[in-house]
A and B are shown apart, each in its own frame.
Chain A
């Protein structure tokens, strides 16, 4: 049988992969994708806890699932705005590499 810890560990590994992507990659699109991976890792542990905490009616705790629903909605909005910024940036600078965007760098 799978335990709660298995799900949490898989979620942690997925979060670390996304985190490594944000740290290592220099392409802005791939950085946005890695952000999505991290958000989804958090969603997985939320759903695992939701299933783990069964209420007296014999149903999972749906509060966590509603929260995951909100996270998915906000993540979709975030991707749309992020990609629009990316297009605006590409128009101005013809690049998606974070190394080339260093005007604000001290």
Chain B
């Protein structure tokens, strides 16, 4: 644990102080409201910017679960790289807000109904799940050094998947270059 000024030692040692219900609901609400804004907004730029806020809320939730490394990765990769990619493509293609087409009410109602049924099923399963009523156990151990722990696991038990993911990213890079090359005529 680096003696960082951002996370006081006491807060790391006693994770329950971070996981206050008030902050949890604030960030969860932030994430959900802006997640809904992604779907509702007519303008793709507004959708992309709402997605950034939604991901920041999610990063805060990761940190409330003592996953600091993943929270920071979330901000760097999603709010940084992926969002720049989205905005860059939107600007490159010069996409405007969708013109108001005739809405197919039957299809819209069907889509909302299917999503609502899925949500009802999930909440039913969660409400029947006994363990879900328990609070999170306190971490009795020493300080949380999750960068080291995740890294050690990544390079020991999950070494082969890690290398396969490296090959996957390489293939994706080559594929993107190939796809975005102008066709030779």
> Which A residues are closer than 8 A to B by beta carbons?
1-10, 12-21, 23-27, 29-30, 32-34, 36-37, 40, 43-44, 47-48, 50-52, 54, 57-60, 62-63, 65-66, 68-70, 72-81, 83-88, 90, 96-97
Cβ-defined partner of A76 (8 Å) among B55, B81, B118: B81
Instruction: Name the B residues within 8 Å of A77 (CB-CB).
Output: 168-169, 172
Instruction: Name the B residues within 8 Å of A15 (CB-CB).
Output: 118, 122
Instruction: Name the B residues within 8 Å of A5 (CB-CB).
Output: 126-127, 129, 132-133
Question: With A3-B132, A84-B180 given, is the CB distance from A29 to B86 under 8 Å?
Answer: yes
Instruction: Name the B residues within 8 Å of A81 (CB-CB).
Output: 172, 175-176, 179
B18 to chain A, nearest CB (A): 11
B32:A10 contact, CB within 8 angstroms: yes
Does residue B106 face the partner (Cβ distance < 8 Å to A)? Answer: no
Instruction: Name the A residues within 8 Å of B149 (CB-CB).
Output: 59, 62
Interface 1/0 per residue, B100-140 and A, CB below 8 Å: 00000000101110111011001100110101111111011
B89:A83 contact, CB within 8 angstroms: yes
Instruction: Name the A residues within 8 Å of B82 (CB-CB).
Output: 36, 75-76, 79
A3:B135 contact, CB within 8 angstroms: yes
8 intermolecular pairs with C-beta atoms under 8 Å apart: A1-B16, A6-B24, A8-B122, A9-B122, A18-B35, A33-B47, A37-B38, A88-B179
Question: With A7-B65, A33-B86, A58-B141 given, is the CB distance from A76 to B136 under 8 Å?
Answer: no
> Which B residues are closer than 8 A to A by beta carbons?
16, 19, 21, 24, 28, 31-32, 35-36, 38-39, 44, 47-48, 51, 54-55, 58, 61-62, 65-67, 69-70, 73-74, 77-78, 81-82, 85-86, 89-90, 92-93, 95, 98, 108, 110-112, 114-116, 118-119, 122-123, 126-127, 129, 131-137, 139-142, 144, 146, 149-150, 153-154, 157-158, 161, 165, 168-169, 172-173, 175-176, 179-180
Cβ-defined partner of A73 (8 Å) among B16, B126, B169, B173: B169
With most chain A CB atoms within 10 A of its CB, the pick from B21, B116, B122, B140 is B122
Instruction: Name the A residues within 8 Å of B179 (CB-CB).
Output: 81, 84-85, 87-88
Interface of chain A, main secondary structure? helix
A99 to chain B, nearest CB (A): 8
